[in-house]
Structure formats: C-alpha cells, structure tokens
A and B are shown apart, each in its own frame.
Chain A
Amino acid sequence: MAIETVPPPASHEALSQQRRARERLKVFGLVFPGLFWLTFFFALPLVVIFIYSFLTPGPRGDVVWIFTFDNYARLFTESLFVNAYIRSIWLGILTTVICLIIGYPLAVFIAQAPPRWRTILLFMVLIPFWTNFLVRTYAWMIILQNNGLINWIVTSLGFPRLSLMNTQTAVLIGLVYGELPFMVLPLYASIDRFDFTLMQAASDLGASKFRAFTRVMLPLTMPGIAAGSVLVFIPTVGQFVVSDLLGGAKVDMLGNLLQRLFTRANPPNWPLGSALALMFMLVLMILIVFYFRSTTEDDR
C-alpha cells in the first residue's frame, strides 16, 4: 500500500531498499509463529532427552546428574534391543510395500474416476482414517479373536479353529489397515497431476502397457510414492498400540520397549529410554535420508 501512494522516489535504490525491508518484515511475520512453536515444543524436548541419555538412572525413576555412556553400551550389547530393532524395521518395510501395492491401483482408480466421483471416493478412503486408530485396531481384535468372525466362518466350514491373535500376521494386518490412507492420499495427489495422455503417447510410440507404466508413469509419480512410503514407514516402526493389542507380548516392537522403560518399568529408566529413543531416531533418519537420495536421483 505504502509503496503505491508514495510519490516517485528520488532513486530506484531507495524504493528497492524500502521494498526489501517490507519483504523481510513479511517473511519474519510469517515464519515466526511456526519457528517459535517448533523450537520450544519440538527441538528443545529432543535436546532434553539427548541430555538425559547421558545421565544415570536414579533409584526412584528419577535422573542423577552423573555423566555416563552406560545407557548406549547396553543398547548394543543386549539382544532384547537388537532384536526389537530388526523386527520393527522389517515390519515397517513389509507394511510400506503392502500399502503401496494396495494403494497404487486404488489411487489410479480414484484419479481416473469421473470428477464428480473423485471427492466421494477419496472421502471413502478417509472415513476409516477418521475413526480412531485404537478403534480400528480393536475392530480387528473382534474379527481375529479366537471366537471371532474369521474363526466362525472357518469352523462353520468344518475346518479347525485358527489362532490368529498374537501373531505377526495379525500385527501386519492391523498395521496395513491403519496406515493405508497415509499411502493413498499422497499417491492420489501425484497421480491426479499425472497427464494420462503421456501414456497414450508412450503406447503410440510402441511401448507396451507395462513398459509405459514403468518408464513414464512410475518415475513421474515417484514424489507421491516417496511421500507415501515415508508417511507409512515412520509411524509403523514406532508403533506400540497395534503390536500391543494384536501381537500380545509376542511381537515386541521398539515402541513397546520404549513404553515400558518410560512408564511401566519399576522403577522407570528414563536415561536408558532416552538413549534407545535417540538411537532409534538416528537409525531411521539415516534410512530416510538414504531413501530420499536414491529416489531423487531416479527422478533426475
């Protein structure tokens, strides 16, 4: 406003300087709230557990300010922790891949539907997602339990009762069910932007459907695939609800160990829990950075 009403300035420099100052103020105003919130309630808490991870656990679940590396040493020597890492990452990869295989055709289907239907179809993916995660996991408990729906069908057909609860399969079903919308939404966003006439062009030029898909559509929708995979993989690996409810104590993931160290252990061991949480985070970040590097290279 001010710039328009001010009479022509003596020099262009004065104008551009004024404009730059206003620009800077605008940026500051826009950036500050987010930066403030995330510094205080995201970055600082991580600094706190970083400090805790080098302290000594106290006798009543508190921390004693004595510096130590013991917490980290335990993480690499006790098989309890190492096994939990491996199982968590393996289940995370499986869940992501299954979600991708199920989610991609669904996203294509929605993107190719008549515009009027798209919103409805997309919301139909979202509605289960709007129900609480626990509720969705609980729904599978009803279906999978020993006298649940699947076993009712199985025994009605004359087959012996299956024990589905407290298995890795049950956990995997629960994870895929819970995370699928996280995959479909970003996939849809990038498939929707994809120009399907390119596929026509590819087949005009003699490419088979499969070749057109792998060489044209897949690379162009890679941002959606990458975003969806990350959005699915992260919450999966940190899960403890699904593995707790559908896996019993038999399918222990890292989340379960962390929860126990922080709240249930007697006494709670925050320094060890902090060290485990940080290591877990670090390993995941390395995986993700590696993953993003490889996908962007493919894009180029």
Chain B
Amino acid sequence: MIDLSQTSSQTAQKSSTRKPFSLGKTTLTVVSVLTYMFLYIPIIILVLYSFTTDAFGARLTGFTLSWYEQLWRDQRLMGATLNTLYVAFVSMIVSTIIGTMTALALERFRFRGRAVYDAFLYLPVVIPEIVMALSLLAFFSFAFNLIRQLTGIQLRNGLATVIISHIAFSISFVVIVVRASLRGFDQRMEEAAYDLGANSWQTFWRITFPLILPGIIGGGLLAFTISLDDFIISFFTTGPGTSLLPVEVYSQVKRAVTPKINAISTLMLAVSMTLVVLSQVVQRPRT
C-alpha cells in the first residue's frame, strides 16, 4: 500500500504540471477571510459603540462606561437576563437528554412506526417557528381555559410555558446532531463490545457515549443557543409579568437606538464567548 502511494506521488511529481488537488487555496482563503469579516465587523461595531458618549449611538465621540452603569440599575433588564439564562439552561438539559434517547432509539433499533416517528421528528424543524409559536399561544390559552373550567384554577403564561415550548422546539435539533454522530462512527466497535460480553448499558456508557459525546455536546450547545437566541417563541408564550431578554431588547430597539442596548448586547456576547471557551475546555480531555 505504502509503496503504491509513493510511486503514484512520484509519478505525479514527474508529470509536475499537476499539484495535489485543492480548490484554489488562495481564492478560498480570501473568500473565507472576507466572510469572517462580514460575520465580525457588525459585532465589533456593536461592542465599540457601547462605549461611546454619543447618546444616539451613531458616532464614536468619546469613551464612557456610563451605559453599563445604567444597565445595573435597570432592574427589568437584569431580571429579564436572568430569566433568559435560566430558561436556556433548563431547556438545554431536558432537550439534550430526550433528544439523545430518541436518536439512540432511531439509529440502533428497528421498531414499528419508526419511519413515521422519524418523519414526525423533522416537523418542528420544518415548520416555521412563528406557526409553532402561535399554535402554542393558542394551545396554552385553550388548555388554561379548560383547566379553569374543570378545577377553578387560573394558570397563566410565564417561564414554565416558555421552557416547555423551547424544549419542544429544541428536541428535533438535538436528535439531528446526535444521529449524525451515531452514524459517523464504526459500529463494529459496538459489536466488538457485545462480543466481549458487555451488555447494552455497558456498551453505551463505555463505547457509544464517549464516541458520540462531541455530538451530544454539539446538540446541547445548539439547544442552548436556540433557547438563548429565541425571540419568536418567547415573545408569544411568555406572560405579562415575566420578561425575557430578547423580548425586552425588542421593545427597547423599537423605541430608539441607544448605546445602552449595545452595552447589554456586549455583555450577552461576553457570556456566550465564555460559555464557548468553557465547553471547549470540557470537551478536550475526553476526545
């Protein structure tokens, strides 16, 4: 094998007109650098303008931290931030567990109704988010009406309804990511474990789980991001008393562009980046 590849690379060098294949490395690099600039320039501007003294947030007229001070005093915004992080965390945990279980069932077992369930799982991804949000709004109002008529208890939309909805939305995404990693590895390793006398529980925790862990973490991160990022479902399923950060930012942006919004955005960005780095550190020793 080694000899063969050497001779072929030697003949390749002899013919000398042909280099190892690449899709035009230079062009690719330039295009990619431009794309990264496209991705980052708006964010850099956002961060820079959170320190400007210009109240309209349109010019860099000087450096100040007063916008950040104002944030700390804004009880509403702080409460909304905590709510959002809480919702994202709970939603991530639950949807990652449920999603991983579902992915395992679909990838490793044959059962009746599997194909139908498989198709059904794609629906939350395929259906526009706003349709799902509106249907949940209608559903909760319908269900709460029913509960009031049956028991006399009046339930209201709040954090619980947002969390329930975020989980319902995230499960399918986790399933897709975890399934991809279940398909991506050599299944003979699982068979080998069974052959060596391991039961399915041991095989899962010793073989499958470590191998698909990047996929599970990836799915979890996606679920967390979806929840943190989500405005539409939160907007329609939250109650009047409970504010979430995206909903709060939306109502402020609609009113006016101020560096205060830049400041809260910058903080969100810092939290996200810390989490990304953290997840990397956690992931490294395992893989």
List the interface of chain A (C-beta within 8 A of B).
1, 4, 23-24, 26-27, 29-31, 33-35, 37-38, 41-46, 48-49, 52, 102, 105-106, 108-110, 112, 119, 123-136, 138-143, 145, 147-149, 152, 177, 180, 189, 193, 196, 199-200, 203, 209, 212-213, 227, 230-231, 234-235, 237-241, 245, 254-255, 258-259, 262-263, 270, 273-274, 277-278, 280-281, 284-285, 288
Contacts and interface: CB of A to CB of B under 8 A. Distances in A.
B40 interface: yes
Contact of B134 (A124, A130, A135, A262): A262
Residue in B129, B138, B232 whose Cβ sees the most chain A Cβ within 10 Å: B138
A123 B43 CA distance: 15
B249 A130 contact: no
Contacts of B236: 262-263
A44 B125 CA distance: 16
A196 B137 CA distance: 48
Nearest to A274: B138
Most buried by B among A52, A126, A134, A209: A134
Secondary structure at the A interface, as helix, strand, loop or mixed, is helix
Contacts of A125: 39
B6 interface: no
Q: What DSSP secondary structure best describes chain B's contact surface?
A: helix
Contacts of B23: 105, 108, 112, 209, 213
A209 B23 CA distance: 8
B126 A284 contact: yes
Interface residues of B, number: 93
Contacts of A288: 126
A280 B98 CA distance: 29
Contact of B273 (A35, A127, A259): A127
B18 interface: yes
B193 interface: no
A105 B171 contact: no
A139 B46 contact: yes
Nearest to B222: A185
Given A41-B167, A49-B134, A234-B126, A30 B58 contact: no
Contacts of A130: 225, 228-229, 269, 272-273, 275-276
Contacts of B22: 112
Given A108-B28, A284-B128, A133 B111 contact: no
A119 B280 contact: yes
- What 5 pairs between A and B have smallest CB-CB spacing? A238-B128, A45-B139, A45-B135, A30-B105, A139-B42
Nearest to A263: B236
B32 interface: yes
B120 interface: yes
Given A1-B199, A30-B102, A135-B265, A37 B280 contact: no
Given A277-B130, A280-B131, A262 B105 contact: no
Contacts of B109: 23, 26-27, 30
B128 A280 contact: yes
Given A41-B165, A48-B139, A142 B49 contact: yes
A45 B136 contact: yes
Contacts of A119: 280
26 contacts: A1-B199, A24-B111, A30-B105, A41-B164, A42-B123, A109-B32, A127-B272, A128-B39, A132-B265, A134-B253, A141-B253, A142-B49, A143-B45, A145-B58, A177-B39, A203-B18, A209-B21, A234-B125, A245-B254, A262-B236, A277-B130, A280-B128, A280-B131, A284-B128, A285-B126, A285-B127
A209 B139 CA distance: 54
Contacts of B232: 238, 240-241, 255
Interface centre among A27, A212, A240 (most CB of B within 10 A): A27
Contact of A35 (B117, B200, B246, B268): B117
Given A123-B276, A129-B225, A132-B268, 7 more contacts: A33-B102, A42-B123, A48-B138, A106-B32, A110-B32, A119-B280, A177-B38
A124 to B, nearest CB: 6
Contacts of B165: 41
Given A130-B276, A132-B245, A259-B130, A34 B98 contact: yes
